[in-house]
């Protein structure tokens, strides 16, 4: 075998396998192979397209002719440095484009430079999934350098058709300026020598832990949250692995910085604190060229896109292009909370203008200077974006984020049954809120079917929550008409009732027969709800008389002040606990600190969508779901609630600790994938142990060895 290995490593220049590209079918988020793959992502899809051509030739010509052509060194499947080789399911070589002597030999035990049995992995994955990629280290036949290498393969009948490629590491300053690859002062002595880094770094080699200590020391010295946000953005732009290492290990401390509430302030100042572009900006000026722009993205296997037009950023309104901070922040949580590799993620801003006059007059505004496109112009532009994504990133999940009511509902309804998409403001908020209700019922000892919900706010979040509650009640056996009557809504003009003539379409299913009620306190007294849910974006919308009224009606009233950021919350945790005499079951959209009332310390539950959307994305990628269904969000709500510990409930917390977020996300991902399999929406074959499979593939931000 060693002789065979040496022969394989001394092939001529024609045999130099030339590949390593980003698009692949293997589900690898955090393995060593995945991190090596990132070194080579910025190249075209030579290997995959070469195999696909070989498969097409096989289907057209038959096995005998195809194998002969694959082995012909002057044939159509040996071109420049590209060639095909073919294995049978036992690892025997059936064809080889540059060395006919390999044909008939057993390659099943061949290992790479690190001792990895990559041929066995090809066979195993091909038998299980039909196609995929394998990543390993191999000697380059010309330079003798050990380089990362990848092979794409497809199984056709009893053949495994393969092709591969090398890609040299970037070196010197180029390597230091690549945030996905840079290790900074953690490059070892041998790496510094081999990668031409000597003199470009201080001489002392530091560990990742030492680097993280420096980051945290500086982080805690910053005078305010916005400065901490700027520091972390800078770190992400320099060294993505260290950024996620620090974020994952300090998630409770840092999540309020990288996302709500600090991200709201960061969006308001986005053009003024702008340092380096991240993601893709696509404007109306790019009509007809959106696919071309998507091709500019350096990573070719995008699996999760978060897209916004910036019209309804949190509770802050139209921030136009400054709203790009939201997709960036959300995608950092897909990685930190669910272990989705950052190379699989893409933030997108669709610039259709803004109605914000202050921004249009701001010389540092980063968007196009015009009013928003509406109607057909908007729809045509958005449709081109969706079509382009389907072409360039066909396996990407598209998360709709912070679109205004005028577009959010109709876009979701127009596309949810056609592509893999969801709206986190509508569906993610709904799932985390329903999970909070399920957990709260463990404290109240009540029955779900007996609850009555009164919402302050009837926009995307409120109606989304109502719809999921109705789905859950129907799933429990309640007729739809009765289920809808468990949900009541207040908008800016009072209670949503059937006699009103000013209601928009999405409110009509919740317009019940009832006298008009102009204010929330009167509605509480009239309807006697068990849960009061704030999603209005109106600060201080829950007053002391309202919470006291809820406390008179319920021994343990549910008070959910979910509006973001903190400045928009309907009430604080302190107010809810004080006004209810410590009996409220409280949840908020943004975090509040622990509060002690009459000797009891409460830890407020944060109804953070980060409990939901990362796990949904992870589950979708794991099974390659074709669609995202309402049943998946119902499953995530039940799964999240089931992970709340008795120790959490004892402290008044109705959601798990954020320190357990990756564990929680893996379980939610499993629940999502199970629904996909049950609804025949999964493209991938189900592994025997789905949860362990998902856990084993989650990205871990640990430096790789380059030499």
Give the pairing type, strands 159-166 and 85-87. antiparallel
If one counts every other C-beta atom within 10 angstroms of the C-beta of residue 395, the result is: 19
User: Binning pLDDT at 50, 70 and 90, where does residue 49 land?
Assistant: confident
If one counts every other C-beta atom within 10 angstroms of the C-beta of residue 532, the result is: 30
Task: Tell me the domain boundaries of the chain.
Answer: 2-166, 172-206, 209-419, 426-696
Q: What mean pLDDT is predicted for residues 272-277?
A: 95
Question: Cα separation of 558 and 534, whole Å?
Answer: 11
Active site residue 330: yes
Q: What mean pLDDT is predicted for residues 314-325?
A: 95
Question: Cα separation of 510 and 458, whole Å?
Answer: 10
Q: What mean pLDDT is predicted for residues 99-124?
A: 91
- Chain mean position to CA 215: 25
Q: What mean pLDDT is predicted for residues 200-219?
A: 98
pLDDT in tens, 613-658: 999 999 999 999 999 999 999 999 999 999 999 999 999 999 999 9
Cβ(271)–Cβ(366) below 8 Å: yes
Two domains, one topology: 209-419 and 426-696? yes
Q: Which helix (H) or strand (E) holds 426?
A: none
Q: Hey, what are 589's tokens?
A: 């959209």
The dihedral formed by the CA atoms of 329, 330, 336 and 342, expressed in degrees to the nearest 10: -90
Which of 259, 334, 438, 611 is catalytic? The answer is 259
- Residue 25 is predicted with a pLDDT of 34
Q: Which of 14-18, 359-363, 418-422, 596-600 has the lowest mean pLDDT?
A: 14-18
pLDDT at 547 over 70: yes
Yes or no: is domain 2-166 CATH 3.30.450.20? yes
Is the Cα dihedral 238, 241, 246, 252 positive or negative? positive
Question: Cα separation of 294 and 599, whole Å?
Answer: 57
Taking the model in full, what pTM does it have? Answer: 0.82
CATH class in words for 209-419: alpha beta
Residue 159, class by beta-carbon neighbours within 10 Å (0-12 exposed, 13-18 middle, 19+ buried)? Answer: buried
Cβ(399)–Cβ(307) below 8 Å: yes
- Residue 144 is predicted with a pLDDT of 56
The neighbouring-strand residues paired with 489 are: 455
- Report the CATH number of the 426-696 domain: 3.40.50.720
- Residue 129 is predicted with a pLDDT of 81
- Residue 697 is predicted with a pLDDT of 85
pLDDT in tens, 429-439: 999 999 999 99
Which of 330, 416, 507, 568 is catalytic? The answer is 330
pLDDT over 90, % of the chain: 80
Question: Cα separation of 383 and 352, whole Å?
Answer: 13
Give the pairing type, strands 280-283 and 345-351. parallel
Question: Cα separation of 192 and 196, whole Å?
Answer: 6
Active site residue 259: yes
User: Binning pLDDT at 50, 70 and 90, where does residue 115 land?
Assistant: confident
If one counts every other C-beta atom within 10 angstroms of the C-beta of residue 155, the result is: 21
Q: What mean pLDDT is predicted for residues 536-546?
A: 95
The neighbouring-strand residues paired with 422 are: 399
Q: How is residue 170 annotated by DSSP? A: P
| Strand spans (E) along 65-115 | 85-87, 93-96
- Residue 673 is predicted with a pLDDT of 98
């Amino acid at each position: 075998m060693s002789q065979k290995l040496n022969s394989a490593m001394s092939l001529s220049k024609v045999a130099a396998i030339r590949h390593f590209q980003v698009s692949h079918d293997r589900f690898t988020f955090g393995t060593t192979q995945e991190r090596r793959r990132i070194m080579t992502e910025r190249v075209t899809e030579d290997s995959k397209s070469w195999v696909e051509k070989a498969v097409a030739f096989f289907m057209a010509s038959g096995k005998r002719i195809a194998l002969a052509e694959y082995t012909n060194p002057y044939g159509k499947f040996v071109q420049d440095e590209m060639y095909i080789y073919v294995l049978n399911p036992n690892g025997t070589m059936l064809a080889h484009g540059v060395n006919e002597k390999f044909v008939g030999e057993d390659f099943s035990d061949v290992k790479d430079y690190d001792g990895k049995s990559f041929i066995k992995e090809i066979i195993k994955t091909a038998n299980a999934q039909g196609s995929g990629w394998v990543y390993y280290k191999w000697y380059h036949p010309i330079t003798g350098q050990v380089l990362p290498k990848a092979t794409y393969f497809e199984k056709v009948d009893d053949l495994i058709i393969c092709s591969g490629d090398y890609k040299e590491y970037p070196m010197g300053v180029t390597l230091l300026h690549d945030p996905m690859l840079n290790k900074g002062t953690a490059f070892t002595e041998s790496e510094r020598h081999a990668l031409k880094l000597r003199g470009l770094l201080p001489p002392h080699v530091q560990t990742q832990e030492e680097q993280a200590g420096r980051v945290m020391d500086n982080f805690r010295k910053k005078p305010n949250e916005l400065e901490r946000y700027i520091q972390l953005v800078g770190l992400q732009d320099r060294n993505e692995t260290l950024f996620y290492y620090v974020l994952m290990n300090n998630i409770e401390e840092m999540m309020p910085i990288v996302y709500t509430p600090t991200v709201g302030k960061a969006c308001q100042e986005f053009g003024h604190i702008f340092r380096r572009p991240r993601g893709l900006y696509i404007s109306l000026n790019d009509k007809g060229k959106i696919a071309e722009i998507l091709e500019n993205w350096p990573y070719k296997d995008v699996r999760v896109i978060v897209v916004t037009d910036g019209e309804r950023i949190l509770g802050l309104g139209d921030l136009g292009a400054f709203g790009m901070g939201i997709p960036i922040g959300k995608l950092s949580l897909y990685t930190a909370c669910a272990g989705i590799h950052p190379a699989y993620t893409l933030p997108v801003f669709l610039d259709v203008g803004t109605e914000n006059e202050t921004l249009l007059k701001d010389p540092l505004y980063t968007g196009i200077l015009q009013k928003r496109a509406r109607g057909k112009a908007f729809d045509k532009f958005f449709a081109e974006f969706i079509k382009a994504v389907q072409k360039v990133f066909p396996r990407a999940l598209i998360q709709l984020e912070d679109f205004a009511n005028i577009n959010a509902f109709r876009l979701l309804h127009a596309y949810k049954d056609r592509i893999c998409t969801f709206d986190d403001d509508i569906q993610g908020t709904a799932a985390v809120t329903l999970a909070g209700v399920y957990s709260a019922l463990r404290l109240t000892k009540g029955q779900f079917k007996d609850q009555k919900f009164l919402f302050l706010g009837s926009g995307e979040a409120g109606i989304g929550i109502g719809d999921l509650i109705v789905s859950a009640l129907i799933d429990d056996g309640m007729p739809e008409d009765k289920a809808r009557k468990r949900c009541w809504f207040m908008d800016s003009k009072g209670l949503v009732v059937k006699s009103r003539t000013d209601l928009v379409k999405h409110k009509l299913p919740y317009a019940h027969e009832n006298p008009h009620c102009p204010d929330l306190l009167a509605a509480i007294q009239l309807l006697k709800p068990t849960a009061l849910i704030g999603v209005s974006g109106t600060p201080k919308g829950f007053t002391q008389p309202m919470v006291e009224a809820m406390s008179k009606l319920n021994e343990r009233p549910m008070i959910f002040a979910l509006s973001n950021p903190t400045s928009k919350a309907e009430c604080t945790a302190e107010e809810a606990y004080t006004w209810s005499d410590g009996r409220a079951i409280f949840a908020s959209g943004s975090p509040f600190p622990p509060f002690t009332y009459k000797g009891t310390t409460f830890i407020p539950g944060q109804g953070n969508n980060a409990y939901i959307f990362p796990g949904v994305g992870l589950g979708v990628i794991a099974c390659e779901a074709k669609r995202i269904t309402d049943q998946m969000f119902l499953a995530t709500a039940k799964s999240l609630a089931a992970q709340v510990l008795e120790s959490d409930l004892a402290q008044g917390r109705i959601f798990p600790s954020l320190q357990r977020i990756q564990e929680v996300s893996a379980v939610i991902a499993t629940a999502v994938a199970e629904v996909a399999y049950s609804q025949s929406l999964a493209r991938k074959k189900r592994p025997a142990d789905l949860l362990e499979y998902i856990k084993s593939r989650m990205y871990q931000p640990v430096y790789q060895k380059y030499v």
